[in-house]
Amino acid sequence: MRSKANALKESGIKVINFAAGELSFDACQDMKAGAIDAINGARNRYTPPIGLPQLRTRLAQHVSQRCGVPFAANEVAVTAGAKQALYNTAMVLLNPGDEVIIPTPYWETAPTQVVLAGAIPVFVDTKADDYRLTCKAVERALTPRTKMILINTPNNPTGTVYQREQLRLIAQLAFDHQLWVVFDECYRKLVRRPHEHHNIVSLFPALKNQTVLVDSFSKSQAVTGWRVGYACAPAEVIAAMHNLQGHTTSNPSSLAQYAALNTLIADSPHFGHQVNVFLDEQLLAACTCLGYVDGITCAPPEGAFYLFIDVSRKLGCRYLGTKIRDVDHLADLLLTEAHIAVVPGSGCGDPHSIRISYAVEREELIEGLTRFGQFMSEVVAD
């Protein structure tokens, strides 16, 4: 979608890009200051493969504080974004033939990493349960080969946030069956009021020894390109990640690490607050625009910055005489006819939905959703 949208843009067409998974903000000031100091201080050399000791110590303190469960520095690995933390996790914990429960819809990298590790993704559809994994659904999917459950909250692509009790029940089940839980909370700071993010270890401390927490600076500090995130896991898992990372990428960028350290030291709520106020307003505006569009429904937009829109009633219908074959075709038509780029849900395991990001400039949001509404109003039953 991105390359198709860029090709249209290059031909002079104004394309509104709802497909990006990042904020339209400049980077958080504390990240910038930390990186600039690191450049001026000539911090140009390799760091240890899984991060600066002082950053691992800070992260351990920070995670201990927010979870209310103690973590030590040797239980933290700094990685090139959450993506590397998740990849390392798959590589060090999964064996060929292991099964991993992945709630559908999913972030499209999740099953691919599992497959790269030789393991088997077991998809569990969450749509009927308000886009959240339930214990009943997990129980139905369990086999003797089940090794791991992946939870992502706030969720990409749906925007849903898991509630406290749901997480507690999943934690109990994982604990009883000795399953690993990979808890991807890289959107944890981006939650719409009055919803709250909950951490699974904080809710169920006994699960700490079978959990990998994954977090990132990418989304919350608007530095997706800088590549810095981290994993928290039992020390032996982190030691294995150290070996793996030491022979693959080595350390994440030293500059991004110093930036992250500076941000943790500053510990300012200012940027996060500003972003969430912006996203609250954006969501309100988006919902107002979408309220005029018939025949669509949306997953509960509680966090991250995505709207996951069910367009199943439009599939098989006609737009100006052209039959909309499937959700990929719809996304293509939205791009070529309405000049808006969206993510088709087919890549996220839901071929009935599209994902749009509302973390774009306000005027673009309104204009893009107006074009979306106009397009949809011209879609008629076959």
Ligand X SMILES: Cc1ncc(COP(=O)(O)O)c(C=O)c1O
Q: Which residues face 152 on adjacent strands?
A: 184
Q: Which stretch binds ligand X (CB under 6 A): 11-19, 42-50, 79-87, 307-315?
A: 79-87
- For ligand X, how many residues bind (rule: CB under 6 A)? 13
Q: In this structure, are residues 39 and 51 in contact, taking their beta carbons and an 8 Å threshold?
A: no
Which of 146, 218, 220, 282 contacts ligand X by CB under 6 A? 218
How far lies 378's CA from each of 323, 326, 358, 373, in Å? 12, 17, 23, 9
CA 267 – CA 273 distance, rounded (Å): 12
Shortest CB 306 distance to ligand X, Å: 9
Residue 347 near ligand X by CB under 6 A = no
Residue 213 or 317: which CB sits closer to ligand X? 213
Nearest to 195 by CA among 164, 166, 227: 164
**Token code pair at residue 279:** 């996203």
Residue 34 or 252: which CB sits closer to ligand X? 252
Binding track, positions 86-115, relative to ligand X; x by CB under 6 A:
---------------------x--------
Q: Which stretch binds ligand X (CB under 6 A): 61-69, 75-83, 317-325, 346-354?
A: 75-83
Which of 34, 105, 121, 229 contacts ligand X by CB under 6 A? 229
Residue nearest to ligand X (CB): 81
186, 192, 194, 197 alpha-carbon torsion, rounded to 10°: 0
Residue 82 near ligand X by CB under 6 A = yes
Nearest to 183 by CA among 159, 162, 158, 160: 162
**Token code pair at residue 372:** 């979306």
- CA angle (112 as vertex; 108, 117 as ends), nearest 5: 150
Residue 2 or 136: which CB sits closer to ligand X? 2
Which parts of 146-175 interact with ligand X (CB under 6 A)?
Answer: 152, 156
Which parts of 177-206 interact with ligand X (CB under 6 A)?
Answer: 184, 186
Residue 345 or 373: which CB sits closer to ligand X? 345
Task: Give SS3 for 193.
Answer: coil
Residue 51 near ligand X by CB under 6 A = no
How distant is the alpha carbon of residue 6 from its chain centre? 23
CA 217 – CA 109 distance, rounded (Å): 18
Residue 262 near ligand X by CB under 6 A = no
Residue 262 or 357: which CB sits closer to ligand X? 357
Shortest CB 85 distance to ligand X, Å: 8
How far lies 82's CA from each of 39, 43, 78, 186, in Å? 24, 23, 9, 7
Shortest CB 22 distance to ligand X, Å: 8
Residues that bind ligand X (CB under 6 A): 21, 81-83, 107, 152, 156, 184, 186, 216, 218, 224, 229
